[in-house]
Each structure stands twice: as structure tokens, then as C-alpha cells.
Amino acid sequence: MPKSSPTILWFRQDLRLRDNPALSAALEQGAVLAVFVLDDKNAGERRHGAASRCWLHHSLKTLDSSLGGKLWVLEGDATELIPQFAAEQGATAVHWNRCYEPWRITRDGRIKQALATLGINAESHSGTLLWEPWQVLKSDGTPYKVFTPFYRHALKTQPAAVVAPATVIDHRASDFLACKQDRNKIDSLALLPVSIWHKAMLEDWTPGEAGAQMRLEEFLEGGLTDYREGRDFPARRSVSRLSPHLHFGEISVKQVAYAATLSAQQGHESQSEHFLRELAWREFSYSLLYHFPAVCEKNLKQEFDHFPWRDDPELRIAWQRGMTGYPIVDAGMRELYATGTMHNRVRMITASFLVKNLMQHWRHGEQWFWDCLVDADLANNSCSWQWVAGSGADAAPYFRIFNPVTQSQKFDKDGEYIRRFIPEIAALPSKFLHDPSSAPETVLQQAGISLGVDYPRAIVDLKQSRERALSAYHAMRNTEDWAS
């Protein structure tokens, strides 16, 4: 192919050079022009949250550096920009890895049509998931709504999903054609906020492909050996912390799954199997989003449209700021704001508290997490919130309400996690640390704590709020819509 006819690689949520199917396919056709389009201002598009925009900025910087400064960066409607860019550069083909958000599926179809009109070939590839959503279906061709049969069928359908990726190689910057844009091309996207809060948030993270590879190695050497049991304890480093790297595609899920499989062969079988199962939950969420695209906005179980949610902005603000009076909830919410993430066990506790004890609609929580998480992922975030609320597929039973005090006593017994994020109550003895409102006044005085001044009193009574939620759920279940 003549050098004057380049192939375009459109980077999306696959900001890596290793194990990138679209990149490998593009390189087979000749010299490659690499381009990224920030397209989040169009109708129907979900704009990146503040935390994930910060991550994206640094990830793009890292990718551009890996390419020797050859990454083109555009901003606007990709439906117009990709065909226009391809035509201007005289490209004969455009390659990209698939995304599964509903608006992106619609947009990609339009782009393929526009490119075909121009005589330019367009090809999408599987570079995000282990199993494509249309590969794992029930015998009648309908999608699964329960995880376990989904997972079992997935393994039977394509057991080779966790084999060594065929293209785990490092490409050279010389494989790419030069970019003629100014050096501030990524800065011009204005992904970073005016304030500098994000600098502290990202202190414990290394966005980019190299950071993802390093995180995987650290997990395999340490966290995975205690994953099955340790992942429930927020003070331990027994979780992978790979979710933002996977979301932005800085590492392929196939490489991660294969690495875990090798670890199983080296004596960590039960730990690895549990981790692979968690990766499969990510796949299940994407399957739900693909087959039920409204899951990010509407109750999957329509009977929940009649649930008597309460609209109380003051309670939501207390929850958002980590000022509910329940330390495990507050520690989680403060961890979220300070670090851009939250331990998985604590995510379930804080979510349950919002939707069941405070009876606030799950959409409020989903939107707050979307803005604060560096790993804000539409499929995982939406489906996880609906799971807790009871309105989604394979949802937690409506009567499952996490008690933040007993959860805290069980999974943060010594209060290491709580004391890290709520230093104002660190002097409390562990016996009362999990529920300061129950502490005798003498104990509070000895710790130098005045409830309502240094730390809030509990904003709701756990027993009463639990009974209120259960009553509302029972009433909803007795409606004609539920029965039908």
C-alpha cells in the first residue's frame, strides 16, 4: 500500500499499544495515523465525570508519549470528525475497538455509513471484553438476567477466552505517521479542573499503560494471594485496583485474565478463580447494558417505578460529604472524594445506606459515583447500583439491607480504615468507633469529641429506617403491577 494512503487507528477506551486488536489490524495495512476524539458534548452522550476526566488527561499524555508525540487529538462530534479526518488524510481504512454504550453503538453505525459513502473501509474489533454480548445467550436467543448461568454458559461457549493474547507485543513509535498538531493538543481539551484537588487524588495512581502493567504485577505478587478472603477488608491491599486501567483500556482484560490463569497454575487456584469470576461480573454488566440500554437510566424491573423514593437533598449532601454519623459510610465517601475510588465492600455498604436507610433514588448515587470515580464505567456503575436497589438483573433481594455498624465491626474490626479517613474520631476506642452515637458521654469527652460539633450524630436510626424501607418494599410487591 502506498505511503500516501495511511490507515487510521481511532483510539477510544483502548489507550494502549499492547494486545490491541484494532492497532494490529491497522498496522497490517501500512503506516498508521493514530487519533483520539473527545466526543462528550452531543445529545445523549454521557459526559465524563470530573475524576475520570483527570485520569483521561494523564492517560492521553502517556499514550502520546509512547507514540513519540504522534497522537492526533480532536474534539467534537466524532460522527462528523472521523469521516472528515479520514478524507483529509487520504486514508483507505479506519479501525477501532468496540464500545458498548448505547449512544456509541448508534454513532459508530452512522460513522461506518459515512465512511462507506466516501469509499473508506471501516472495521471494528473486539478489544474490550472476554466475550461479546451477543456470544453468550440462552438457548432461546435471549440474554441472561442472572449471573451464574451467564458465567457458566460463557465458559462453555468460549473457554479459550482466557488464553495468551496473540498480540501482546510492544509497537514502536516509528510505526506511526507524524502528527502536525501543537504540543498543547491534549491540554487544549481542558480535561483538568481549574482547582488542583485532582493532584492529591491521583497521588496513589499511575494512569497509563505502564502504570497498568505495574499494577497487574503488584497484584499478582501480593494481593491475589489473599484475594478471596482479603478483598472484603477495606484496610487490606487485597484488591487488584485495576478497574480504571481496564475502563480506559490501558491494559486488556484478556491479558489480565490470562495472567490470573497462570497464577492459578502456580498454586493460587481458588484465589484466581474468584478473581476471574469478578472479571466475569464486569462482562455480565456489559451484556446487560448492550441488551437493555436503558439500564443506565431506568429501573430494569419496571415495578420499581412505583417505589416511594424520598427526595431529601440535605440527607444526600450529608451522604456525599461523609457526614452521616456512621463511620464506615463516611470513611467510604471520603475515600471516594479523596482518591477517586472506594473499596468494593464499602461501595455496597454506602450504596445500601443511601437507597434503603435514606430511601433516596439509586440514580442519585449512580450520578455521584459517576462524577467522583476514576473508574466510572457506565455498565458497572449502573448495574451495580440497580443490584443494590433491587431493581436490576440478578439483584440483591429487596430485604437485604447492609447494617453499616455490624459490617464495620466485621470488616474493619480495629478501625484502621475508619481512622485513616475520619481522623477526628480516631481517639475513640474500637468498641465505640463503629457507632459514635452509641458511645457514653464520658467516653466521648475522654476522646475529645463533641457529637454535632466534631463529628455528626447519626442522621437516621438504623432500625427505624430499615423497617421503613422494608414496609415500602412490601407495599410495592403487593401492587397489581408487581403481581401481573
User: What does the alpha-carbon distance between residue 347 and residue 344 come to, in Å, rounded to a whole number?
Assistant: 5
Q: In what order do the strands lie in the sheet with 7-11?
A: 71-75, 32-38, 7-11, 93-97, 121-125
User: What does the alpha-carbon distance between residue 484 and residue 470 come to, in Å, rounded to a whole number?
Assistant: 21
Of 275, 207, 180, 237, give the one whose Cα is nearest residue 58.
207
Of 284, 258, 240, 223, give the one whose Cα is nearest residue 18.
258
Backbone torsions φ then ψ of 35, nearest 5 degrees: -140, 145
User: Cell 477526628, residue?
Assistant: 424
Task: Give residue 30's identity as a one-letter amino acid code.
Answer: G
**Cell numbers given for 382:** 449502573
Beta carbons within 10 angstroms of residue 432's beta carbon: 19
Cross-strand pairs, 35: 10, 72
Of 132, 358, 152, give the one whose Cα is nearest residue 254.
132
Q: Is 218 exposed, middle or buried (0-12, 13-18, 19+ CB in 10 A)?
A: middle
Backbone torsions φ then ψ of 317, nearest 5 degrees: -65, -40
3-state SS of 338-387 is HHCCCCHHHHHHHHHHHHHHCCCCHHHHHHHHHHHCCCCCHHHHHHHHHH
Tell me the Cα Rg of the chain. 24
Helix 50-66 vs helix 362-372: crossing angle, to nearest 10: 40
Looking at 235-361, list the stretches that DSSP marks H as alpha helix, in order from N- to C-terminal side.
243-247, 253-265, 269-291, 313-320, 327-339, 344-352
| Terminal CA-CA length for the chain | 62
The residues assigned a catalytic role are: 278, 281, 309, 344, 362, 385
